[in-house]
Structure 1
């Protein structure tokens, strides 16, 4: 007699979240605290360099970083400080959805980015850079920064955390939420910077996200 087919086991809600996003709340990795610190410092410096180039050209990028650039252009405040303040509401979401270790490392990364963004103009100034080259280089630098942070269970906060929360809470697709956020940033940018700058900003955002799409894959890099 044949056995009845068993119902598929879809696992718990936490298992389903891990399958979609990776286990961001995991703390048991092969990385030592010193290695995490090195990755966070490197990622923050690369991100600050990328944002410095974009800010020099009056360009933008996606996510909260783009919103921070808009705030810095409109109100004349340091982009790092704007980035830190805008991210404050996302810390609670990160703590609830990503775990304590992820939230702590993300908070440290964002705080360091604020400090480095204040310090960098004192030791590094951009005299001239071609707009297209600046968009590509800026996008790549921020992409490298995010990759370093992601591989050590950290981030620069922002819309990605909100996207994951909305998907888990209401079923909205995280990718579509992120896309909607980025498109909103570009629409706001039309009222803040020149149209040509928006086009170059879009190029930089495509470079950044294309770099992450190719290199940030859990089947190629597993730190557990």
Structure 2
């Protein structure tokens, strides 16, 4: 139950960050960033596009990451989709580019970090990040930065150069936060492997 509540809190933080990025008309990295870009481009719902993009990655997750991780990731994806859909009920507002990049990057970075710590992800690129970390020991923050930057660069057509630069700033912020959480992510993975139940220490 505690694990599920942590995943819910992580999705709330990530969803809030994505909503702020959307109101600054910025993108972020990973599947959420790609879904934001496509939603701007085609005027489609972020929630629907996000879930559709994730389908191929669930198959990869089942094959290499196991049933528990895949189910938690599917749960997190559905929660995020529902949370971001609430944005339609909020009054329309605009955020300055710097505020969207800073606040959105911090919230998404914290949310993703706690998802990784609790053995989950938001699907898509996040699955690849966790896979590379477990298989090759690659720093999840650096992997996130590289792949997220590629997503942002591919989104320049829909948001423009200036907003693209601020979007990269949000990626730098969230990648730094994930890198800082690397130790707890590694510890959590070791506990899962060893079948331990102790919670990771608060750093």
Aligned position for 2:19: 52
8 Å CA contact 1:62–1:185 kept in 2: the answer is yes
Match of 2:167 among 185, 195, 201: 201
Q: Distance in 2 between matches of 1:53 and 1:181?
A: 21
Q: 1:70 to 1:128 in 2, by over 3 A?
A: closer
Query: Which consecutive residues of structure 2, in runs of 5 or more, have no partner in the other structure?
Result: 197-203
**Structure 1 length as normaliser, TM-score?**
0.74
Is 1:68–1:83's contact at 8 Å kept on the other side of the alignment?
Answer: yes
- Root-mean-square deviation (Å): 2.7
Which residue, out of 70, 79, 92, partners 1:112?
A: 79
Shift in Å at residue 220 of structure 1? 7.9
Could you say which structure has the higher helix fraction? 2
1:129-144 superposed matches below 5 A: 129-144=95-110
SS of 2:25 mapped into structure 1: coil
In the alignment, is residue 62 of structure 1 matched against residue 62 of structure 2?
no
Indicate the SS of the match to 2:159.
Answer: coil
Q: What residue in structure 1 maps to residue 69 of structure 2?
A: 102
SS in 1 for 2:157: coil
Q: Given the alignment, which residue of 66, 69, 84 partners 2:51?
A: 84
Q: CA deviation at 1:196?
A: 0.6
Deviation at 1:183, TM superposition (A): 3.7
Q: CA deviation at 1:51?
A: 0.6
CA distance in 2, matches of 1:164, 1:115: 24
160-169 or 79-88, which deviates more: 160-169
Larger Rg: 1
**TM-score in terms of structure 2 length:** 0.81
Q: Distance in 1 between matches of 2:186 and 2:129?
A: 24
Checking the alignment, whether the CA contact within 8 Å between 1:93 and 1:165 is kept in structure 2 is: no
Residues 125/50 of structure 1: CA separation in 2 closer, same or farther (3 Å cut): farther
Q: How does 1:1-224 map to 2 (within 5 A)?
A: 34-122=1-89, 124-125=90-91, 127-162=93-128, 181-218=147-184, 221-222=187-188, 223=191, 224=196
CA contact (8 A) 1:53 1:126 kept: no
Give the number of equivalent residue pairs: 188
What secondary structure sits across from 2:54 in the alignment?
helix
Q: Which runs of 4+ in 1 moved over 6 A?
A: 166-169, 173-177
- Tell me, which stretches of 5 or more residues in structure 1 are unaligned? 1-33
1:186 shift after superposition? 2.6
